[in-house]
């Protein structure tokens, strides 16, 4: 049956499947982290740890990615939930730009891919921090309004609503147990009520924890299907472009520092590789392109590629996405040109 299909279509199908297999584990990690944030991290906790100063908030957002080893395939739902929980927009975007690069897994893979040397990994980390700081500060001081689409402004799962509805009932039940109905109660009877009160509180706490875990799983499943369709479309477009736009054609026009940097940025966007694997592809271009171009490839790809752009378009307003795209593109280009 497949013998009658064109070879190019079979090649595109192979590339599409490889992208999906590479991306899906990290999407699953991302949606589970997003579900955990939604159910277990409160707005009060975020407000407590996040600096009020906009510049400091951007710094915190830029470096906290080292604690969240997430690929760009699953970073958008994490950031969406953080912003919906109260993280400032500029800090959330700074986190989104650096998290796929500065986490330990990506650093190690980059170190191995480039012959166990630290030059390229350090330039990659420095570039991601520079871009996140520049774009984050630009959002903090020049962008007005909330970048999230209206349906995510007051993002709340059905599980959260149910948990909130149950809380007053549990509180009333606990109060009823402890209320004395007359002055003739003995000390023993009061102790019995006190013991029963603690029993009810413990039971309510257990029920609430089980409920939160269950709703975290539900939320992760909802997120997976919400993000998954954009991953599929993005991977399909990336596979088609890799199949029908030959790398050799792009390489032939990439002469000089400016064109070679721009070419590698375009290539990073088209290939749409996961940040855990892109270093090995970037290393294969060492004999063709300069260090500047390869660093641009390694910094730009995890921040902007086809599948990631589609996920951002589904989450953020179009003007805000354009703001991010322009800011990231210009900053990466200038950084690569200056190193």
Contact of 68 with 99, CB cutoff 8 Å: yes
Provide the β-strand partners of residue 148. 316
* pLDDT over 50 (residue 133): yes
pLDDT: is 93 or 172 the higher one? 93
Contact of 68 with 275, CB cutoff 8 Å: no
Instruction: Name the CA radius of gyration of the chain, rounded.
Output: 25
Average pLDDT over every residue of 257-279: 84
The residues, any chain, with a CB within 8 Å of residue 227's CB and separated by 6 or more, are 27, 30, 31, 74, 76, 77, 311, 314
* pLDDT over 70 (residue 288): yes
CA contacts within 13 A on the Cβ side of 325: 16
| pLDDT tens digits, one per residue of 18-58 | 877 776 776 677 677 767 766 776 656 766 778 889 999 99
What is the C-alpha separation between 110 and 280, in angstroms, rounded? 7
Q: Name the pLDDT band for 167 (thresholds 50, 70, 90).
A: very low
* pLDDT over 50 (residue 194): no
Per the rule left: phi > 0, alpha: psi between -120 and 50, beta: everything else, 86 is left
Contact of 26 with 71, CB cutoff 8 Å: yes
pTM above 0.75, yes or no: no
| pLDDT tens digits, one per residue of 94-116 | 999 998 898 777 888 888 888 88
* pLDDT over 90 (residue 64): no
Q: According to DSSP H, which parts of the chain are helical?
A: 7-40, 43-49, 54-63, 75-85, 89-102, 104-113, 119-142, 158-178, 187-244, 247-252, 256-271, 278-283, 291-303, 306-315, 318-338
* pLDDT over 50 (residue 123): yes
Cα 183 to chain centroid distance, Å, stands at 60
Percentage of the chain lying above the pLDDT 90 cut = 26
* Closest to 200 measured CA to CA, from 160, 172, 180, 181: 172
Contact of 72 with 114, CB cutoff 8 Å: no
Average pLDDT over every residue of 172-194: 43
pLDDT: is 255 or 322 the higher one? 322
Q: pLDDT value at position 205?
A: 46
The highest-confidence range among 201-215, 253-267, 279-293, 308-322, by mean pLDDT, is 308-322
Q: Name the pLDDT band for 78 (thresholds 50, 70, 90).
A: confident
Q: Name the pLDDT band for 216 (thresholds 50, 70, 90).
A: confident
* Closest to 268 measured CA to CA, from 228, 244, 301, 246: 301
* pLDDT over 70 (residue 195): no
Of the chain, the end-to-end C-alpha distance in Å amounts to 52
Q: pLDDT value at position 253?
A: 66
């Amino acid at each position: 049956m497949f013998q009658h299909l064109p070879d190019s279509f079979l090649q595109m199908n192979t590339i599409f499947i490889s992208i999906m297999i590479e991306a899906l584990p990290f999407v699953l990690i991302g949606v589970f982290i997003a579900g955990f944030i939604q159910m277990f991290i409160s707005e009060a906790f975020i407000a407590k740890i996040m600096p009020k100063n906009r510049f400091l908030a951007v710094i915190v957002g830029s470096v906290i990615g080292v604690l969240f080893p997430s690929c760009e395939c699953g970073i958008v739902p994490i950031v969406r939930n953080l912003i919906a929980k109260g993280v400032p927009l500029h800090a959330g975007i700074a986190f989104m730009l650096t998290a796929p690069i500065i986490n330990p897994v990506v650093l190690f893979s980059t170190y191995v891919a480039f012959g166990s040397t630290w030059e390229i990994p350090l330039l990659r980390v420095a570039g991601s921090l520079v871009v996140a700081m520049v774009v984050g500060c630009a959002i903090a001081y020049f962008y007005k309004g909330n970048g999230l689409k209206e349906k995510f402004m007051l993002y709340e799962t059905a599980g959260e609503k149910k948990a909130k509805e149950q809380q007053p009932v549990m509180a009333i039940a606990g109060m009823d147990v402890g209320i004395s109905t007359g002055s003739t109660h003995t000390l023993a009877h009061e102790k019995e009520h006190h013991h029963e009160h603690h029993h009810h509180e413990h039971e309510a706490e257990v029920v609430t924890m089980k409920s939160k875990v269950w709703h975290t799983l539900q939320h992760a499943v909802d997120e997976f299907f919400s993000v998954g369709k954009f991953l599929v479309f993005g991977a399909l477009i990336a596979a088609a472009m890799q199949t029908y736009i030959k790398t050799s054609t792009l390489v032939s026009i990439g002469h000089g520092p400016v064109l070679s940097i721009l070419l590698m940025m375009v290539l990073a966007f088209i290939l749409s590789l996961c940040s855990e694997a892109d270093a090995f592809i970037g290393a294969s271009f060492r004999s063709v392109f300069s260090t500047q171009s390869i660093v641009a490839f390694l910094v730009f790809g995890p921040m902007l590629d086809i599948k990631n752009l589609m996920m951002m378009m589904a989450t953020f307003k179009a003007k805000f996405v354009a703001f991010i795209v322009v800011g990231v593109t210009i900053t990466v280009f200038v950084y690569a040109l200056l190193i």
